[in-house]
Structures are given as C-alpha cells and as structure tokens.
Chain A
Amino acid sequence: MGDPKLPPGKHNVMFPLELRGVSFAPGERPVVADLNLRLEASTRTVLLGPNGAGKSVTMRLMHGLLKPSAGEITWGGKTTHPAAQAMVFQRPVLLRRSALANIEYALSLAGIAQGERRTRANAALERVGLGHVAQRPARVLSGGEQQRVALARAWSLLPRILFLDEPTASLDPAASREVERIVAEIAASGTKIVMITHHLGQARRLADDIVFVHDGRITEHSPADEFFRQPRSREADDYLKGELP
C-alpha cells in the first residue's frame, strides 16, 4: 500500500483558514480574545505558549468542538465548517474493541462504504507500523501504540487538516519520535498540520511556522526559523528563555 496522496481540487477551497476577532468566553472572563490568524494549506503550524495560555481552546475553536462567543472563522472565505479534518488528543481515546475496529468505526462515521473500511483501516495501521496488532484490543496496547492507533485513525480519514493537541505529552522519547515521524509523513501526504507542543525540540523539528499564544491572545505568527532566531514579541522571547511559567 503506497502512501496516500490527497486528491487535489475541491479540498483546496478549505484554505486559508482564517480567524477574525475570535473570542471564547464561557464565563465572565474570556479564555481567548480577539484572535486573528491566517493559516495556509501547505505549512506545518505549531502553537506554542505557556500552560493555560489558550492554545487548546484556540485549536478546539478551529476544529469546531467549541463555538466562538464572538468573531468569525472562515475556511477558504466561507463560514461552512468542512468535514475533511481530524484531531488527535493528548490522551488517545480508543474504544473497547480491536485496533482495526476502532479505525473502521471512524470510517463508518465518515460515511465510508462498508466494503472499503477494512482495506483502508488495515492500510492505515500498516502505515504507522502496527499491522501486527490489528486484532488486539486497542486499550491494552502500550501508550505509544495507542497514540499511533489514534494517528492511524485520523490518517485513515484522509483529512485535509489534522489538529494535534500535545500528542506526545504522555509518551517516552522513543514513542515521541515515532509520533513525530508519522506526523511528518501525514504532512508529506498533503495534510495541513496544526500542532500544540511544549517540547521546543519537537517544535524546531516539525514546524514551518509558529503561532505564539499568551494570556488568551496571539502575540505573534512567524516562520519557525525566524521565531527561534529572534521572536518578535517580548512574551515569546521570555518563553524561549524559560522565564515564562
């Protein structure tokens, strides 16, 4: 099974993904406020920022798990929320069934015909190097394997954009590297990556551009090499020097 390439054409109308004046305020105090951002189709974007800055909320707003209290999110200029997206969470949430059946479940929700599910699910597991555990119950796999199953599940949906919220936070270095390798492959297959990490080395290796979030606001959006050489915002500079909490 070769690497899947996304079909060109209609999916490209999803981009750019733009946030204009987006706020999220479930209580009195907004968690994020006045977010303005423009993400292009081809880059690997990493969200950096201290704990509680609002990175996860920003990502959930983009993915549609949360509704903005104010402002507008557009995909290719339209407000319709496209389906061709997936998200991988810090802790993989897998169902009490086999690794293969977990992926088939996601494909069934995505409306993929029954006959095609098994093939696609198997191919996805092979791509993350887990073909041999296809029939094993997913929740008894190791943490690293479970996260790879979650990645395979996301990948099998052939998303045009993939959100990852600290996918390696609970993994050991070897498992983290494996996840990074898979994320890079998914990116190479044509999927836009938006990832949150606290691991600066990982951000350097993976990011094309960095969005820095601080205290519920985006303080800068720069190409990764520029950001790590000399960030434009004071907060990002402090963060890189390890002075922000």
Chain B
Amino acid sequence: MSTLGEAWSTALTLIGGFDAKLLGIVGLSLRVSLSAVLFGSLIGLPLGASVAVGRFAGREPVTVLLNAFIGLPAVVVGLLVYLLLSRAGPLGQFGLLFTPAAMVVAQTVLITPLIAAFARQIVADAWREYREQLKSLGASTGRAALTLLIDTRYSLVTVVLAAFGRAIAEVGAVMIVGGNIDGVTRVMTTTIALETSKGDLPLALALGIILVGIVIVVNAAAHATRRWALHRYG
C-alpha cells in the first residue's frame, strides 16, 4: 500500500516539477497525434463530404467500409503500416520505420476512417435539409460539399477532437511502428505500458494522470464548442 502511496506522490512531484523526461514524452505524444489529426482531417473531411453529397457508383460500399473501419484495431493498423514501411515493404526505401513519422502515418491511418465516417453522417444529414435550396441556387456538387463542411463546422470540431482522443490514447499502432525507443519514439501510452511492466510505477502513473487529463480537457472543449455554436448560430 505504501509503495502505491509513494508512487502517487512521486508522480505528482514529476508533474509539478516539470520533469524534463516527462515533458519530452508528453511533447512527442502531442506532436505525433496532432499531426495525425491534421492529416486525418485533410483527408477524412473532404472524403466524408464527397461520399455524402456525391452520386457515384460504389458509394454504398465506401460508406459501409468507412463505418466498419471506425473501430479498426490499433495493433492491426500498426502491423499493416509496419509491413508497408519495413525495409522489404513497398515504402521501405524511405527508412521511416521506428521514427515519429511512422507513428504519424499509423495514427493517420487509424483515425482517417473515423473522421470520414462521422463527417459523412453529419454532412449527409445537413444535405437532406439543404439539398433543394442549394440546387435551387445553382450550387455544383463540389461547391455544395464545401458549403456543408463549412456550415457543419462546429459538429465537425467534435469529430476531430474525438479523433484526437482516439489517437493520443492508442498504444498498439505506435508501439509496433515506433518501437518505443527511449528519447526517440517513446510516447505516453507506450511508456505507461513499458514502465508498468518494469514496475516503475511513478512515471507510468504521472503519464496516466496527464493522459486522462488531456482526454477530459479535449472532451470538455468539444462539449463547450457545441453549446456555444448552438447558442450563437442555431
């Protein structure tokens, strides 16, 4: 019991003292996951909107696949990206494996379907309401998709924040493609996994507290954005 108590107090000391190692790990986690969210949004939002508004063959299967991939297991994504980036793989020549870049790729693959699937749903709902009016005004399909993305921006912020939550909290993909190399590719989740198995609880606990804190802040931000937007824009 006392070890657990010590672990807590050491963890809080690490956080309160802005421990350099701790900050390095948190910083890398944020850089990797924010980059993944950026790329995931750049791909996922237009993709979701196109599937919602466009009328092309294969629209239904794409929708089903996007929805199915929302819950893609992180370790499977890690494995696929590993195969892609390994020396013998199709993208092996770039030497990305076991670098933060590989982790960004893996998390981007992980969350792009999630962003696209929810964006599709949100834009499709808006499209039902706006369709006749936008067609009456002469909007092309592409212009309509862009207009709907802009008009549903506050709902989409929630989607993007949820994607960030998923990215920063996942461990399987970054562990496989990053390799959990100390000082290079070690992020919060992989450190927690490693330090816990080593029995070094304070660092694991400190990171756990910060991780949960980040997730709560992100969700609070999502909630606040929605409430504010509803009040402001209806």
Contact = CB atoms under 8 A, between A and B. Distances in A.
Interface in B198-234: 229, 232-234
A65 B135 contact: yes
Interface residues of B, number: 19
Contacts of A86: 136-137
Q: Majority SS of interface residues in chain B?
A: helix
Contact of A65 (B132, B139, B232): B132
A96 B153 CA distance: 9
A106 B137 contact: yes
A106 B9 CA distance: 61
Contacts of B132: 60, 65, 87, 89, 93
A93 B232 contact: no
B86 interface: no
Q: How large is the interface on A (under 10, 10 to 19, 20 to 34, 35 or more residues)?
A: 10 to 19
Nearest to B132: A65
**Most interface-central of B130, B153, B233 (chain A CB within 10 A):** B233
Interface string B150-168: 1101100000000000000
Nearest to B234: A139
A240 B151 CA distance: 43
Nearest to B229: A96
B147 interface: yes
A70 interface: no
Contacts of A65: 132, 135-136
A63 interface: yes
A89 B134 CA distance: 12
A87 to B, nearest CB: 5
A16 interface: no
B133 A89 contact: yes
B58 interface: no
Contacts of A25: none
A68 B37 CA distance: 45
Nearest to A96: B233
B87 interface: no
A137 to B, nearest CB: 5
A93 B143 contact: no
Nearest to A93: B133
B129 interface: yes
B136 A87 contact: yes
B138 A110 contact: yes
A179 to B, nearest CB: 17
B80 to A, nearest CB: 38
B137 A137 contact: no
Given A96-B151, A109-B143, A140 B234 contact: yes
Interface of A: 60, 63, 65, 83, 86-87, 89, 93, 95-97, 105-106, 109-110, 137, 139-140
19 contacts: A60-B132, A83-B138, A86-B136, A93-B130, A95-B147, A95-B151, A96-B151, A96-B153, A96-B154, A97-B151, A97-B233, A105-B137, A106-B137, A109-B139, A110-B137, A137-B233, A139-B233, A140-B232, A140-B233
